[in-house]
Structures are given as C-alpha cells and as structure tokens.
C-alpha cells in the first residue's frame, strides 16, 4: 500500500472523532449536544454530559469502560462512587435535564426525598454500575 493511501485511510479513521468533537464543543453534552449546566454536569473521563441519563445512554451506546465518572453533588464535583443518587419524577423546578440527582451525603439525599419524594438508588439501581457505588 502506498504511503498516500495509508495517510488517507488514517485520516478517514479520525473523521468520527472529529465529528464527535464538533457536535460536543465545550459547554455542550457529549451525547445530545444540549447545553450543560454546571449544577448537573456529569463527567466521564474527558467528556461532559448534561445529566445522568445522557451519561448513561452514552456509556451504553459507546461500550466504553470509563476510567473515572464524576458528578456534581451539592455544588461540587465528586467521584460517582462517593455520591448518593435520588430518582424522582419531580424536576424540583431547578432546570435539570433529568430526574436523577447526585448528593454528596446520604443525609442530603434523604432530605431531598423527604421534601420532594422519590427514592434513593442503591445497588444495581445506581447509575454507572456497581463499581461506582458509595462506600
């Protein structure tokens, strides 16, 4: 195979990566291109998502095994393994893209459930798999 052909094939292989980067500029969800709010962002390795559901959908579609998953909980970014997740049908009027919220402490998660309803996700219900469970 000629060198030019090899280069052309290599460049063609990079096109999906370039397209993904164009669809997901800084401040946009890597899954659906929606704007990300710092209050609900999820970060998987070097990708940002607007919420838990988009991050989960991207993981299923991509087949990637993440090196790290970080979520915004109580205003700061933490490892998903340390987070407590609440599922509710109420969006709490906060502009979040989905009904799953992350909390840094179990007490804060419990307060939200008492105030707005819903359930604290445990075991296999937790986003991002058992390997990302709170200790």
Distance CA 40, CA 71 (A): 7
Count other C-beta atoms under 10 Å from residue 52's C-beta: 26
Per-residue pLDDT of the chain (135 residues; tens, 9 = 90+): 777 766 665 555 545 544 444 444 568 999 999 888 888 899 999 999 999 999 999 999 999 999 999 999 988 999 999 999 999 876 555 556 678 989 999 999 999 899 888 999 999 999 986 554 444
Distance CA 79, CA 88 (A): 22
Q: Please tell me the pTM assigned to this model.
A: 0.72
User: In this predicted structure, what is the pLDDT of residue 24?
Assistant: 46
């Amino acid at each position: 195979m000629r060198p030019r052909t090899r280069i052309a094939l290599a460049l063609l292989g990079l096109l999906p990566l370039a397209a993904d980067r164009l669809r997901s500029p800084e401040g946009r969800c890597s899954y659906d291109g929606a704007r990300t709010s710092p209050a609900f962002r999820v970060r998987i390795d070097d990708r940002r998502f607007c919420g838990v559901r988009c991050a989960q959908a991207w993981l299923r579609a991509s087949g990637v095994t993440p090196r790290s998953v970080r979520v915004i909980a109580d205003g700061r970014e933490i490892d998903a393994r340390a987070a407590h997740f609440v599922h509710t049908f109420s969006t709490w009027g906060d502009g979040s893209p989905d009904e799953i919220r992350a909390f840094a402490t179990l007490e804060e998660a419990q307060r939200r459930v008492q105030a707005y309803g819903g359930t604290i996700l445990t075991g296999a219900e937790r986003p991002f798999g058992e390997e990302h469970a709170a200790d």
